[in-house]
Chain A
Amino acid sequence: MKNGIIGSNSEKFFMAQHSSKGARFQAVTANRLLDGEVVYLAADNSWTEVFSEAEIADGPEAGEALLARAVPDGFEKQVLEPYLFEAIEDENTGFRPVSVREIIRAKGPTVRLDLGKQARRQAQG
């Protein structure tokens, strides 16, 4: 890890087990500073609101490399608390998050389908 602050963040969240030890596919997520929106690190190192645009790392080393890319100098001007989480291959969508937590983060509250990312997607058709 690059420095103390960043190291403590990613370590802490990795420890919180958003990924299992044997996870093969992982992506990096965070919350955007200005509004807390859930975002994912994309292939071009930008942050995207949509999980399907997230870069998927294959294998633990690729995962760590992806997380390192998420925390360049000054990353905190854009996002909070980036961490790795586990994804699996999905017939229909390519990949999907594994845990209920990350599925809910990728969509919105299951009790308010009119709110969060899921609502925007519906509105766009």
Chain B
Amino acid sequence: MYRYDEFDHQLVAERVEQFRGQVERRVSGELSEDAFKPLRLMNGVYLQLHAYMLRVAIPYGTLSSRQLRKLAHIAREYDRGYGHFTTRQNIQYNWPALARIPDLLAELAEVEMHAIQTSGNCIRNVTSDQYAGAIADEIEDPRIISEIIRQWSTFHPEFSYLPRKFKIAVTGHAHDRAAIKLHDIGIVIVRNEAGEIGYEVHVGGGQGRTPFIAKKLAEFVPKDKLLAYLEAVMRVYNMLGRRDNSYKARIKILVHETGEEEMRKLVEAEFAQIDASKMLEVPQAEIDRITRYFEPPAFETLPAESAAFNKAQADDAGFAQWCRTNVVAHRQLGYSIVNISLKPIGGVPGDATDVQMEAIAELAEAYSFDELRVTHEQNLVLPHIRLDDLKAVYDRLVTHELATPNLGLISDAIACPGLDYCNLANARSIPLAQEISNRFADLDRQYDIGELKIKISGCINACGHHHVGHIGILGVDKKGTEFYQISLGGSADEHASLGDITGRAFTEDTIVDAIETLVETYVGLRHADERFIETYRRVGLTPFKERLYAE
């Protein structure tokens, strides 16, 4: 894992003390709310419905045990005993008191964490593949370039007041788990015909009110030139992006209005200048230094099969089922990747208590080389677990109600905080996720339905990624009452697509029945082994729509 150098430590420590002074001056009345609001937002402090909310960055979704223990401690000491993992690989605390936030941030800084780049019109916390460094067939660990991007983008003076926020995601694997085509910039690590590693750069994706799939602006940017290319994209955006209307200010609108071809030309012209100056060429020594932080842990040489693991599966059907749904093959023989579902049946997607966080930290320390990951689907990952240890890990997870075997299934929905917490929301999201989870609680039924990604947003800003749900649900407000609009056929992976809206919205009382109707329609239409998304792509919207709005 990356460790802070002296500059990182200094930057974060100085920021905490600056914010401490700003809070003191706000409380004394010296600073108005208008003056203070942008300052608190730059430190991840939002005002929500019931309280302030603090959003803490987890760069590219990687955590150590020590960091997760600190997050648990903060949940207990500064909040109400839980945290909420978000679709941006962050954690949010829903109840911190303003006056205590500087102390909270000082505690975070002790474990090399902060809330910088979690708000405001800057380049936000970089997100990545949760299986980085653990999955087979990865071209390169995406956290290396993610960390380089983090260092380049943090407090970048030219990009601190962009037209709007800016999100970058990176994957090093052909199967995209980081939703890179739904980001302002999505980077895919690729290998060219000469065998060199470089970057495919997608620009202008995003969700919100006007969703777009990103356009591939560059097929292959050489390794040492990526920052120059990114800076070129940022410059074009910073100069030409709209500032007159916040709904039209994201780079996706600029790309759409400018056109892909013209945008590519503009970026390439800018890139040629930056490249010629050589100012942003990353020295190989620096790349090597950062690469060393992400070297694989000291894996043991193990056989591909584990007798203990096989026996445990034979003896315990629940364990075997959990292994089938939540455990993924590792690149290293004898190891596996464990997904910890934060979606217990009827639970709040992404919430974890202080005690659960501590239990998970303990498991990571004992069995996973001290490493953890957060996924944008609001689950956690133990990336390096020996097959021999899987049963012990599972048993501990069961004790803490963290072993729900539902990864990728209908009850593994993602949901934004919605109107239960969020100041921008129009409707609640979490209760809907809970009701759907309860309706389909029978695991056998879930396995029969197979992979089905439900994504729920409580407003058009789409934090719950409803545009790219196989079934997407958008909460809308009609005169103070909640309604829910359905879309079908969205996907966030390498075959990214935006969902089609089915039609008239449903009430709180009818939406879960509507979801069940859609599921039954799929079950009736599917060919053998066909997933929901495949059936939808084969048959289209019409049969679903007919059933949904029949009688």
Give CA–CA (A111, B477) in the complex, Å. Answer: 19
A98 contacts the other chain (Cβ, under 8 Å)?
yes
A: contact size bracket: 20 to 34
Query: Which A residues lie within 8 Å of B431 (CB)?
Result: 110-111
Contact of A111 among B33, B427, B434, B481 (CB under 8 A): B434
Distance in angstroms from B435 CB to nearest chain A CB is: 11
Contact of B427 among A77, A81, A100 (CB under 8 A): A100
- Report yes or no: A110 in contact with B98, Cβ–Cβ below 8 A: no
Please name the 3 residue pairs, one residue from A and one from B, whose CB atoms are nearest each other, closest first: A99-B480, A36-B51, A109-B420
Distance in angstroms from A2 CB to nearest chain B CB is: 13
Query: Which B residues lie within 8 Å of A99 (CB)?
Result: 477, 480
Given the known interface contacts A100-B480, A104-B419, A104-B420, the answer about A36 and B428 at a Cβ–Cβ threshold of 8 Å is no
Given the known interface contacts A76-B33, A81-B33, the answer about A104 and B49 at a Cβ–Cβ threshold of 8 Å is yes
- Report yes or no: B98 in contact with A35, Cβ–Cβ below 8 A: yes
* Contact mask for chain A residues 97-114; partner B; CB cutoff 8 A; 1 contact, 0 none: 011110011001111100
Binds A, one of B6-14, B24-32, B122-130, B167-175: B24-32
* Contact mask for chain B residues 17-46; partner A; CB cutoff 8 A; 1 contact, 0 none: 000000000110100111000000000000
- Report yes or no: A111 in contact with B430, Cβ–Cβ below 8 A: yes
Query: Which B residues lie within 8 Å of A35 (CB)?
Result: 51-52, 97-98
- Report yes or no: B27 in contact with A34, Cβ–Cβ below 8 A: yes
- Report yes or no: A108 in contact with B98, Cβ–Cβ below 8 A: no
A5 contacts the other chain (Cβ, under 8 Å)?
yes
- Report yes or no: A101 in contact with B480, Cβ–Cβ below 8 A: yes
Distance in angstroms from A68 CB to nearest chain B CB is: 18
B421 contacts the other chain (Cβ, under 8 Å)?
yes
Give CA–CA (A34, B99) in the complex, Å. Answer: 6
Q: Which of B415-451 contact A (CB under 8 A)?
A: 419-421, 425, 427-428, 430-431, 434
A125 contacts the other chain (Cβ, under 8 Å)?
no
Give CA–CA (A2, B175) in the complex, Å. Answer: 57
- Report yes or no: A36 in contact with B29, Cβ–Cβ below 8 A: no
B95 contacts the other chain (Cβ, under 8 Å)?
yes
Q: Which of A59-81 contact B (CB under 8 A)?
A: 74, 76-77, 80-81
B50 contacts the other chain (Cβ, under 8 Å)?
yes
Q: Which of A21-45 contact B (CB under 8 A)?
A: 31, 33-38
Query: Which B residues lie within 8 Å of A9 (CB)?
Result: 33
Closest to B48 in A: A36
Give CA–CA (A34, B27) in the complex, Å. Answer: 7
- In the assembled complex, 28 residue pairs joining A and B whose CB atoms fall closer than 8 Å, in A order, are A5-B34, A8-B34, A31-B47, A33-B26, A33-B98, A34-B98, A34-B99, A35-B51, A35-B52, A36-B51, A36-B52, A36-B97, A36-B98, A80-B47, A81-B47, A86-B480, A100-B427, A100-B477, A101-B49, A101-B419, A101-B480, A104-B49, A104-B428, A105-B49, A109-B50, A111-B420, A111-B430, A115-B95
